[in-house]
Every structure is written in C-alpha cells, then in structure tokens.
Amino acid sequence: MPDEIESEDKKFQKELISGISALVLLSVLNDAASEPMYGYQIAKLIQPQEDIPWLKQGALYPVLRSLESSNLLQSWVEPSVSGPPRRYYQITDSGRKTLERWKKMWSQMTTFVDAVMKGESYDQEH
C-alpha cells in the first residue's frame, strides 16, 4: 500500500513540476537584472529546501533548451577560467512578454485552486 501512495505522489509531483518549471526558470532569468547566467548558477539559485520536491538539476537543462528553441531565451558559449566552457542563458523580449502572461495565469490559477480547496474545508465544517 505505501508503495502505491508513494507512486501516486510521485506522479502528481512530476506533473505539477513539469507545468511550472518553465515559469520558474523564466522568472529567475528575468529577476537576475537580466544578467546572463549559466546552467550551474541557475541550478544553485533555485535549489529549494530539502523537503520541497523539485526538479533534479540535470532536468533543468532540457527545459532551458526548449525555452531557447521557442525563442524565449537566447544562449551562447563563453570559455571559463576554471573548468569547461559555459553556456550562458539570457531572457529575450518575447520571453519577458511571455513571462508577464504566464505570471497572470499562475496567479489566477493559484487563486482559483485556493478558493476551491478552502470551499471544500468550509463545507466539511458544516
């Protein structure tokens, strides 16, 4: 039984994260005063506390790449003093506009979900 519950949790978690990972990455790159950042830097910056489920760092790169191919991000490679050359990512104008829309959708969605969940608990009390 606990195995089943765990796999249901995992599935919910995965679907939730895959929906918002693009939003989180776009906002990080937008918030960083539009400074370009490389993958490792981004991964470090959005490393959550232990108990919050979040993407493995390795799964961020494909998301960055799909954002780039939709022209929401641009990227280029720069050599680094220590270690391998780094690919820097920067948000584009169309990325910024998309982010504004997504933020609105996100706040609408959270308001809606919160309201629904509060409604349920309200009903149970009566």
Partner 1 sequence: MIKSIDEYLRQLKKELAGSDPAVIQDAVSDAEEHLRTALTQAQKANPNVSEADAIPSIIDRYGSAQEVAAAYRQMEQRLPPGLGKPASSARRSLVARFFGVFADPKAWGALLYMILALGTGIIYFTWVITGLSVSLGLIVLIVGLPLLILFLLSVRVIGFVEGRLVEALLGVRMPRRQRATDKSIGWWQRIKNLFRERNTWTILVYSITQLPLGIVYFTVFVALISISLYFIATPVTMLAFHAPPYIIVGDTEYTAVNWAIPLFVIGGALLLTAAMHLAKLVARAHGGLAKFMLVSK
| Ordered alpha helix ranges (H), the chain | 2-31, 39-45, 60-69, 93-125
Q: What is the x/- site pattern for partner 1, positions 35-74, by CB under 8 A? A: ---xxx--x---x--------xxxx-xxx-xx--x-----
Binding mask 80-119 for partner 1 (x = CB under 8 A): x-xxxxxx--------------------------------
Q: Does 77 bind partner 1 (CB under 8 A)?
A: yes
Bridge partners (DSSP) of residue 76 are 88
Cα 95 from Cα 30, distance rounded (Å): 9
Residues that bind partner 1 (CB under 8 A): 18, 38-40, 43, 47, 56-59, 61-63, 65-66, 69, 77, 80, 82-87
